[in-house]
Amino acid sequence: MKLAYPVILTPYEDNSGGFVAEVPDLPGCVTGGSNLADALIMAEDAASGWVLTELESGKAAPKASDISDIVVENPNSKLSMVALDMDSYAAKYGSQSVRKNVTVPAWLDTWAQKAGISYSGTLRDALEALYAKGAVNKA
């Protein structure tokens, strides 16, 4: 899932060259960087973490505002966009698991039990391998 959110970049008050980065569509999503590029990178990471937390708790990602609707109050602030690759971020940092029931033939279940095979681990490993290959059957 690819997402993009507006971000407001405000220079640090100490004139050090750093910026505060705020993603107004994600309440409380504020970070900073030592320069403009660093602030944008940090904003991408902070916003990705914010959205992943929502997704893992079963909520939808907030809809992004149109950049033209964002009001920037500080005349020294800059307005930009931050792009999020949630599939990549979740693969690296996601931790939420979900329970799934599977149906297998009885003979295969008997064999798996005797072999001490974990259904959860085997299914997870197989799905991760398919994901890594980019194997998708789009219907």
Edge-first strand listing for the sheet containing 30-33: 30-33, 19-22, 2-11, 78-85
Confidence of residue 131 (pLDDT cuts 50, 70, 90): confident
Residue 40 and residue 84 in one domain: yes
> From residue 107, how far is each of 100, 110, 120 by CA, in Å?
20, 5, 18
Residues 55 and 79 in one domain: yes
Do 68 and 44 sit in the same domain of this protein? yes
Give the torsion sign (CA, 67, 86, 49, 13). Answer: negative
Place 77 in a pLDDT band, splitting at 50, 70 and 90. very high
User: Are 29 and 11 in the same domain?
Assistant: yes
Task: Say if CB 34 and CB 17 are below 8 A apart.
Answer: yes
Q: What mean pLDDT comes out for the span 83-105?
A: 85
| Residues 33 and 77 occupy one common structural domain | yes
Are 84 and 40 contained in the same domain? Answer: yes
Query: Which residue do the tokens 């960087």 mark?
Result: 33
The reply to whether 88 and 112 lie within a common domain is no
Report whether 9 contacts 20 (CB < 8 A): yes
Give the position of tokens 């966009």: 81
Same domain, 64 and 84: yes
- How many angstroms separate the CA atoms of 33 and 63, rounded? 25
Same domain, 14 and 46: yes
List the domain range (segments joined by +) for residue 87. 2-93
Q: What's the mean pLDDT in 54-78?
A: 94
Q: 18-39: per-residue pLDDT in tens?
A: 999 999 999 999 999 999 999 9
Res 139 pLDDT > 60: no
Residue ending a domain, among 60, 75, 93, is 93
Q: Whole-angstrom distance between the N-terminal and C-terminal Cα of the chain? A: 17
pLDDT at 136 over 90: no
- Both 30 and 60 in a single domain? yes
Does residue 8 contact residue 70 with C-beta atoms inside 8 Å?
yes
Say whether both 38 and 75 belong to one domain: yes
Q: Which of 77, 93, 109 is the last residue before a domain boundary?
A: 93
* Whether residue 9 is found in the same domain as residue 23: yes
Tell me the pLDDT of the chain averaged across its residues: 91
User: In the block, which residue shows the tokens 């064999």?
Assistant: 111
For the chain, how many structural domains are there in total? 2
